Structure 1
Amino acid sequence: MPTALLDLILPPRCAGCDAPGALVCPRCTAELHGEPACRMPTPSPPGLPECWSATGYAGAARRTIIAYKERGRTALARPLAGALALTAAAAAGGRPVTLVPVPSARSAVRRRGHDPVTRLTELAAGCLRAAGWPATVARVLAQRRGVADQAGLNSLQRAANLALAFEVAAGRKGPAVSSWGGAGPVVLVDDIITTGSTLAEAARALREAGVTVPLAVTLAATRRKGESSSP
């Protein structure tokens, strides 16, 4: 039976700590929301926008993200989107936002049965609008070619794997970009930032279409070796 269906018919257990009673318990929700802040990878690839994340990719946050992306617990999209919305609000500093999701690889979408980042982006925009914050979603990025799984690749390998991997979808280029840019900043959205290669490549594709991309937001930032565990 699919995990998403089990979440509907069985008493929920926290994805972060396995405690009964909620999809994400209050303690793990607090850990997931963390402290939205600018967390840039070191070194950062050229062209990387200013990157904000809700928390570090560890503990309850890591377990919850994996459960959502890889274990079919799609009901976790709403609590995760709440953390993403808070991060976008902190990054934008009161301005309206246009959120642009980074598309998943086609093979990953087939394996998972959904595009997790696009779903989170749409829900996060809904959270912002419900709070009175102007937010739109522009699904304008597309994959130009296939890419390999990024797991296990170092920063140079990730950059090579993603080089020229994205483009602005046909029909969204040229004068059309002015119709979805909005009054505030364009904000790239992904789930995790590790080396920054994915977000840098996505930003390049948008800049080539004439779109300025000052910000990116993610749920979590992977800590590099030797980095402090503090936010």
Structure 2
Amino acid sequence: MRGWWREFAGLVLPVACGGCGRPRTDLCAECGAALLGAGPRTVRPVPEPEGLPSVRAAAPYENAVRAMLLAHKERGALGLVGVLGSALAGAVRAGAGPVCGAGPLLLVPVPSARRSTAARGHDPARRIALAAAAELRRTGTPAGVLAVLRQRRAVADQSGLGAGQRRANLAGALEVAGGAGRLLAGGPVVLVDDLMTTGASLAEAARAVRAGAVADAGARWRNTGEQGLRAAVVSASPSAFEINRN
């Protein structure tokens, strides 16, 4: 019911820019440029969690971009999903590189905690992943969404946790749904999320996907091994964009 109400409200209630609050538009030109203007970049958190695949992000998590992601995730500004999906599609495309041509890109969203999904009335990462896959197909790149990751145990709220605490909190928390490992053989796998801060969620998702592929005799390791598995996010911590470090 809550998800239906948010969809309806988005159609009939006055809107404001999700980035700056300017009235009568979901997204103004300036905030759209902040999200899409710079182009995707390789990002890397410090410290970098073990097993984190190569990650591309569309924009730093600050100012208007931060406001947009929070509006979509926490306040049900579902009208932003199209531009957020376009941003994620650009990051996916930038990171796919030489793995293209081996089948459709398979976008695997990092799942939200069940209680968070229930409270919000939607799963933000999955919604953005579906929009990104549609944008990729529209622009000539075969792509689909495989929502095969599941939480196998409860995790604590990540707010306020440091990098090491987040890794411990998420260790072993995800798994590939039973029998879904073979689906990962259908094309290059790209883990996707709306935001990367410490990289702990993406590293745990990568571990679960690799384990699920290996456990299923029908899955091909080349799609999920160190060279095949990639990741893309809409946004990442500004410090993660500083990749030219000694």
SS at match of 2:39: coil
Are 2:64 and 1:60 aligned?
yes
Task: State how far apart, in whole Å, the 1-side matches of 2:231 and 2:152 are.
Answer: 21
Task: State how far apart, in whole Å, the 1-side matches of 2:185 and 2:26 are.
Answer: 35
- Aligned-partner residue type, residue 201 of structure 1: E
Indicate if the aligned counterparts of 1:191 and 1:220 stay in contact, CA closer than 8 A: yes
1:28-80 residue CA offsets vs partner (Å, 9 max, x unmatched): 11111232010110110110000110010001100000000001112211111
Task: State how far apart, in whole Å, the 1-side matches of 2:166 and 2:84 are.
Answer: 25
Between structures 1 and 2, the one with greater helix share? 2
Structure 2 counterpart of 1:202, from 190, 202, 205: 205
Task: State how far apart, in whole Å, the 1-side matches of 2:115 and 2:149 are.
Answer: 16
Structure 2 counterpart of 1:215, from 214, 226, 230: 230
Shift of 1:4: 4.6
Identity %: 45
TM-score between both structures, scaled by the size of structure 2 = 0.84
List runs of 5+ in structure 2 lacking aligned partners: 215-223
1:9-29 residue CA offsets vs partner (Å, 9 max, x unmatched): 234211111112320111111
SS at match of 2:186: coil
Are 2:185 and 1:181 aligned?
yes
TM-score between both structures, scaled by the size of structure 1 = 0.90
SS at match of 2:234: strand
SS at match of 1:190: strand
Are 2:15 and 1:12 aligned?
yes
- Aligned-partner residue type, residue 130 of structure 1: R
How many residue pairs get aligned? The number is 222
Indicate if the aligned counterparts of 1:16 and 1:61 stay in contact, CA closer than 8 A: yes
CA gap 1:86/1:153 in 2 versus in 1, 3 angstroms? same
- Aligned-partner residue type, residue 221 of structure 1: A
Indicate if the aligned counterparts of 2:194 and 2:234 stay in contact, CA closer than 8 A: yes
Match of 2:85 in 1: 81
Task: State how far apart, in whole Å, the 2-side matches of 1:75 and 1:181 are.
Answer: 33
Task: State how far apart, in whole Å, the 1-side matches of 2:66 and 2:185 are.
Answer: 32
Indicate if the aligned counterparts of 2:47 and 2:163 stay in contact, CA closer than 8 A: no
Shift of 1:8: 1.4
SS at match of 2:64: helix
